[in-house]
């Protein structure tokens, strides 16, 4: 599988991902990787309808790792979207290989810190970001392909979180 983009986005699949990112990168599939969404039939059904011209698959973390390793999908050009940076760590631990991760949107919750207009991170998220950085994974904040990227570790340092 050719991963065109690994993205953290708490909404998983929506217009920015299905239209802007998939179209710009030439992805033919979006893998919405979430244990919770994969087990919730209503949420799964709704996510499957969001892709437009791009095929959406809703998978658990374990199943996404199996699909990634399956030769049947070797030529698939995909975007992988997860809800949390901890899910990226889990995917790496399961054998998925990426060099960089897009931090696109993480919604506000009680106890989170605002990193950008669309990114709020909990202490657990920051710990996962640090783990990814320690593994040599480049992380950047970017909502859509037409906007600039900001290095996540620089953003964390500016907020006193690194």
Residues with a known catalytic role: 14
Contact 28, 78 (CB under 8 A): yes
Report residue 141 as tokens.
């904040």
Q: Tokens 């710009």, residue?
A: 24
For 24, the 3-state DSSP assignment is helix
Give the span between the Cα atoms of 118 and 107, in whole angstroms: 7
Give the DSSP per-residue string, 51-98. Answer: -TTSEEEEE-HHHHHHHHH-GGGTT-EEEEEESSHHHHHHHHHTT---
Distances (CA, A) of 65 to 59, 70, 125, 129, 155: 9, 9, 21, 20, 30
């Amino acid at each position: 599988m050719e991963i065109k983009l690994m993205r953290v986005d708490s909404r998983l699949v929506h217009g920015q991902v299905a239209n802007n990112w998939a179209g710009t990168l030439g992805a033919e599939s979006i893998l919405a990787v979430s244990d919770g969404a994969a087990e919730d039939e209503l949420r799964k059904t709704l996510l499957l309808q969001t892709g437009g011209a791009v095929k959406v698959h809703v998978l658990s973390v374990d199943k996404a790792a199996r699909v990634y390793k399956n030769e049947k999908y070797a030529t698939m050009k995909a975007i992988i979207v997860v809800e949390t940076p901890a899910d990226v760590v889990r995917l790496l631990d399961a054998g998925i290989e990426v060099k960089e991760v897009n931090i696109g949107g993480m919604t506000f919750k009680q106890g989170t810190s605002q990193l950008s207009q669309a990114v709020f991170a909990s202490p657990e998220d920051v710990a996962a970001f640090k783990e990814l950085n320690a593994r040599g994974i480049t992380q950047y904040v970017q909502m859509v392909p037409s906007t600039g990227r900001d290095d996540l570790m620089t953003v964390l340092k500016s907020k006193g979180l690194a």
